[in-house]
Structure 1
Amino acid sequence: MAKKDYGADSLTVLEGLDAVRKRPGMYIGTTDTQGLMHCLWEIIDNAVDEALAGACTHIVVTLHKDGSVEVADNGRGIPVDVEPKTKLTGVEVVLTKLHAGAKFGNASYNAAGGLHGVGSSVVNALSSRLDVEVDRNGNTYHMAFHQGHPGVYTDADPEHPSPDSPFRKTRKNRPTELEIIGHVKPKTTGTRIRYWADPEIFNDTARFDYDQLIDRVRQTSFLVPGLKLDVVDERIEATGDEHVDELIENDIGAAQAAAAETADDEDAAIVRASAGDDAIARTEAENMQQQAEAGAATTLEATVSPQPDAPTPGHRRLEEFCHTGGVVDFVDFLSQGEPVSNIWRITGQGTYHEETQAVDEHGDLHAQDITRACDVDIALRWVNGYDTTIRSFVNVVATPGGGMHVDGFLNAVTRQVRKAVEDNARKLKVNLKDAKMKVERDDILAGLVAVVTVRIAEPQFQGQTKDVLGTAQVKPVVTRIVDRQFAEMITGSKRGYKEQSSRVLEKIVGEMHARIQARKTKEVARRKTALESASMPPKLSDCQPGNDDVAELFIVEGDSALGTAKAARNSAFQALLPIRGKILNVQKASLAQMLSNKECAAIIQVVGAGSGASFDLSQARYNKVIMMTDADVDGAHIRTLLLTLFYRYMRPLIEAGHVYAAVPPLHRIALTGPRKGEYIYTYSDDELAGKLEQLDRDHISYADDIQRYKGLGEMDANQLADTTMDPRTRLLRRIRMEDAERAAGIFSLLMGDEVPPRRQFIVDNADDFDRSKIDT
Structure 2
Amino acid sequence: MTAATAEPTTDDQQGYSARHLSVLEGLEAVRKRPGMYIGSTDSRGLAHCLWEIVDNCVDEALAGHCTHISVVLRADGSFEVGDDGRGIPVDIEPKTGLPGVELVMTRLHAGGKFGGVSYTASGGLHGVGASVVNALSARLDVEVDRDGHTHAISFKRGLPGEFADDGRPNARFKKRSGVRQVRRTARKTTGTRVRFWPDLQIFLPDATVEQSLVMDRMRQTAFLIPGLTIEVRDERGEQVVQETFRFDGGIGEFCDHLAKDAPIVDVLRLSGRGHFTETVPVLDDQGHLTPTDVERDLEVDIALRWGTGYDTITKSFVNVIATPKGGTHVRGFDRALTKVVNEQLRAARLLRAGDDDVIKEDVLEGLTAVVTVRLPEPQFEGQTKEILGTSAATRIVSNVVLKELKAVFDNPGRGQKQQLRTVLEKIAGAAKTRIAARTQRDNQRRKNALENSALPAKLVDCRTTDDRSELFIVEGDSALGTAKLARNSEFQALLPIRGKILNVQKASVADMLKNAECAAIIQVLGAGSGRTFDIEAARYGRICLLADADVDGAHIRCLLLTLFYKYMRPMLEAGRVFSAVPPLHRIELVKPKRGQDKYIYTYSDAELRRRLVELERKGQRWKEPIQRYKGLGEMDADQLAETTLDPRYRVLRRIRIEDAEEAAKMFDLLMGSEVAPRRAFITAGASELDADRIDA
Length, aligned pairs only = 444
State the shift of 1:208 in Å. Answer: 1.5
Aligned position for 2:278: 354
Letter in 2 for 1:529: K
Aligned position for 2:17: 7
State the shift of 1:351 in Å. Answer: 0.7
Q: How do 1:565-604 and structure 2 match up within 5 A?
A: none
Aligned position for 1:529: 447
Aligned CA-pair RMSD: 1.9
Name the SS for the 1:141 alignment partner.
strand
Q: Confirm or deny that 1:70 pairs with 2:80.
A: yes
State the shift of 1:164 in Å. Answer: 1.4
Partner Cα distance (1:210, 1:222) in 2: 18
Aligned position for 1:164: 170
State the shift of 1:2 in Å. Answer: 8.6
Letter in 2 for 1:107: V
State the shift of 1:493 in Å. Answer: 4.5
State the shift of 1:410 in Å. Answer: 1.0
- Structure 1 residue corresponding to 2:268, chosen from 344, 350, 354: 344
Task: Check whether the contact 1:128–1:198 (CA below 8 A) recurs between aligned residues.
Answer: yes
Q: How do 1:642-657 and structure 2 match up within 5 A?
A: none
Q: Confirm or deny that 1:452 pairs with 2:371.
A: yes
1:275-296 CA-to-partner distances (Å, cap 9, x unmatched) read xxxxxxxxxxxxxxxxxxxxxx
Letter in 1 for 2:447: T
TM-score (norm 1): 0.56
Name the SS for the 1:208 alignment partner.
coil
Partner Cα distance (1:227, 1:406) in 2: 25
Partner Cα distance (1:63, 1:36) in 2: 12
Partner Cα distance (2:12, 2:141) in 1: 44
Task: Check whether the contact 1:416–1:490 (CA below 8 A) recurs between aligned residues.
Answer: no
Task: Check whether the contact 2:232–2:243 (CA below 8 A) recurs between aligned residues.
Answer: yes
Aligned position for 1:561: none
Letter in 1 for 2:379: Q
1:631-658 CA-to-partner distances (Å, cap 9, x unmatched) read xxxxxxxxxxxxxxxxxxxxxxxxxxxx
State the shift of 1:511 in Å. Answer: 0.8
Letter in 2 for 1:412: A
Q: Which runs of 4+ in 1 moved over 4 A?
A: 1-4, 491-496, 530-534
Partner Cα distance (1:525, 1:3) in 2: 67
Partner Cα distance (1:418, 1:322) in 2: 38
Q: Confirm or deny that 1:411 pairs with 2:335.
A: yes
Partner Cα distance (1:408, 1:139) in 2: 48
Q: Confirm or deny that 1:469 pairs with 2:388.
A: yes
Letter in 1 for 2:53: I
Could you say if the C-alpha distance between residues 495 and 78 of structure 1 is closer, same or farther in structure 2, counting changes exceeding 3 Å?
same
Partner Cα distance (1:66, 1:198) in 2: 13
Name the SS for the 1:457 alignment partner.
coil
- Structure 2 residue corresponding to 1:501, chosen from 415, 420, 427: 420
Task: Check whether the contact 1:388–1:446 (CA below 8 A) recurs between aligned residues.
Answer: yes
Q: Confirm or deny that 1:150 pairs with 2:160.
A: yes
Q: Confirm or deny that 1:44 pairs with 2:45.
A: no
Name the SS for the 2:408 alignment partner.
helix
Partner Cα distance (1:443, 1:11) in 2: 56
Partner Cα distance (1:217, 1:201) in 2: 26
- Structure 2 residue corresponding to 1:61, chosen from 71, 84, 89: 71
State the shift of 1:392 in Å. Answer: 0.1
Aligned position for 1:90: 100
Could you say if the C-alpha distance between residues 434 and 479 of structure 1 is closer, same or farther in structure 2, counting changes exceeding 3 Å?
closer
Task: Check whether the contact 1:33–1:206 (CA below 8 A) recurs between aligned residues.
Answer: yes
Task: Check whether the contact 2:251–2:302 (CA below 8 A) recurs between aligned residues.
Answer: yes
Partner Cα distance (1:328, 1:415) in 2: 23
TM-score (norm 2): 0.62
Name the SS for the 1:31 alignment partner.
coil
Task: Check whether the contact 1:49–1:114 (CA below 8 A) recurs between aligned residues.
Answer: no
State the shift of 1:116 in Å. Answer: 0.5
Task: Check whether the contact 2:124–2:378 (CA below 8 A) recurs between aligned residues.
Answer: no
Task: Check whether the contact 1:345–1:380 (CA below 8 A) recurs between aligned residues.
Answer: yes
Partner Cα distance (1:80, 1:169) in 2: 18
Partner Cα distance (1:3, 1:445) in 2: 62
Partner Cα distance (2:69, 2:328) in 1: 30
Q: Confirm or deny that 1:120 pairs with 2:125.
A: no
Partner Cα distance (1:326, 1:363) in 2: 42
Letter in 2 for 1:41: W
Partner Cα distance (1:410, 1:358) in 2: 34
Q: Which is higher, the Rg of structure 1 or of structure 2?
A: 1
Partner Cα distance (1:530, 1:506) in 2: 33
Task: Check whether the contact 1:489–1:501 (CA below 8 A) recurs between aligned residues.
Answer: no
Aligned position for 2:222: 221
- Structure 1 residue corresponding to 2:360, chosen from 434, 437, 441: 441
Aligned position for 1:398: 322
Task: Check whether the contact 1:491–1:498 (CA below 8 A) recurs between aligned residues.
Answer: no
State the shift of 1:525 in Å. Answer: 1.4
Task: Check whether the contact 1:46–1:114 (CA below 8 A) recurs between aligned residues.
Answer: no
Task: Check whether the contact 1:58–1:229 (CA below 8 A) recurs between aligned residues.
Answer: yes
Could you say if the C-alpha distance between residues 477 and 494 of structure 1 is closer, same or farther in structure 2, counting changes exceeding 3 Å?
farther
Q: Confirm or deny that 1:420 pairs with 2:344.
A: yes
Letter in 2 for 1:469: L
Name the SS for the 2:444 alignment partner.
helix
Aligned position for 2:546: none
Name the SS for the 1:391 alignment partner.
strand
Partner Cα distance (1:458, 1:474) in 2: 13
State the shift of 1:489 in Å. Answer: 2.0
State the shift of 1:166 in Å. Answer: 0.7
Task: Check whether the contact 1:53–1:109 (CA below 8 A) recurs between aligned residues.
Answer: yes
Aligned position for 1:333: 257
State the shift of 1:433 in Å. Answer: 1.8
Q: Confirm or deny that 1:183 pairs with 2:184.
A: yes
Task: Flag structure 2 segments of 5+ consecutive residues without an equivalent.
Answer: 1-10, 453-538, 541-696
Partner Cα distance (1:516, 1:234) in 2: 54
Name the SS for the 2:418 alignment partner.
helix
Aligned position for 1:233: 234
Partner Cα distance (1:458, 1:71) in 2: 24
Name the SS for the 1:83 alignment partner.
coil
Name the SS for the 2:75 alignment partner.
coil
State the shift of 1:349 in Å. Answer: 1.3
Letter in 1 for 2:171: S
Task: Check whether the contact 1:39–1:123 (CA below 8 A) recurs between aligned residues.
Answer: yes
Could you say if the C-alpha distance between residues 164 and 504 of structure 1 is closer, same or farther in structure 2, counting changes exceeding 3 Å?
same
Could you say if the C-alpha distance between residues 5 and 441 of structure 1 is closer, same or farther in structure 2, counting changes exceeding 3 Å?
same
Partner Cα distance (2:387, 2:178) in 1: 40
Aligned position for 1:568: none
Task: Check whether the contact 1:492–1:501 (CA below 8 A) recurs between aligned residues.
Answer: no
State the shift of 1:531 in Å. Answer: 7.8
- Structure 2 residue corresponding to 1:136, chosen from 136, 146, 154: 146
Task: Check whether the contact 1:45–1:114 (CA below 8 A) recurs between aligned residues.
Answer: no
Partner Cα distance (1:78, 1:395) in 2: 20
State the shift of 1:133 in Å. Answer: 0.2
State the shift of 1:85 in Å. Answer: 1.0
State the shift of 1:492 in Å. Answer: 5.2
Aligned position for 1:575: none
- Structure 2 residue corresponding to 1:432, chosen from 350, 353, 377: 353
Name the SS for the 1:517 alignment partner.
helix
Letter in 2 for 1:102: G
Q: Confirm or deny that 1:483 pairs with 2:402.
A: yes
Task: Check whether the contact 2:346–2:352 (CA below 8 A) recurs between aligned residues.
Answer: no
Letter in 1 for 2:214: L
1:569-614 CA-to-partner distances (Å, cap 9, x unmatched) read xxxxxxxxxxxxxxxxxxxxxxxxxxxxxxxxxxxxxxxxxxxx99
State the shift of 1:393 in Å. Answer: 0.2
Name the SS for the 1:470 alignment partner.
coil
Residue identity (%): 50
Task: Flag structure 1 segments of 5+ consecutive residues without an equivalent.
Answer: 171-175, 236-310, 535-612, 615-776
1:274-323 CA-to-partner distances (Å, cap 9, x unmatched) read xxxxxxxxxxxxxxxxxxxxxxxxxxxxxxxxxxxxx526xx62200011
Task: Check whether the contact 1:145–1:151 (CA below 8 A) recurs between aligned residues.
Answer: yes
